[in-house]
Chain A
Amino acid sequence: MTVRAEEPALSSKIAPIHDVGLFVPCLVDQYLPEVGEATVRVLRALGLRVHYERRQTCCGQPAYNAGHMKQARRLAGRTLRLFDAQPVDAIVGPSGSCVSMLRVHAARLDLKPRDRAAWASVAPRIFEVTEFLDLRLGLKRLEGRYPRCITYHASCHLTRELGVRDAPKRFLASLEGVELLPLPDEGVCCGFGGTFSTKLPELSMAMGRDKLDAFHRSGADELVMGDAGCLLQVRGVAKAAGEDPGRIRHIIEVFADAMEAK
Chain B
Amino acid sequence: MGAVVLMPGANTDIPKCRQVAVVVGWDPKFSPGMEIDASSFLVGADGKVPSDAYFVFYGEQSSPDGSVRFLSSPSTGVDFDVQAFDVDLDKVPAQVEAIDVCVTIHEGQVRRQSFANLKGVFARLVDSVSGREIARFDLHVDGMKETAITLAKVYRRSGQWKFRAVGQGFAGGLAPLARRYGVDVANEIPSPPVSESKVRLEKRLVDLEKKAPHLVSLAKKASASVDKFHLSGTVCRVGLVLDASGSMLRQYQQGRVQEVVDRIFPLAVHFDDDGSLDVWAFAEKSRELTPLTSDSVKSYVDREWGGWQKWMRVLNSDINYEPAVIRAVIDRYRGTFTTQAVQPVYVVFISDGGVGSDKEIEKLLIKASQLPIFWQFVGIGGSNYGILRRFDTMQGRFLDNCNFFSLDDLHSVTDQELYDRLLAEYPEWLKEAAAKGIIRG
Partners in one complex: no
Please report A residues at the B interface, Cβ cutoff 8 Å.
none
Please report B residues at the A interface, Cβ cutoff 8 Å.
none
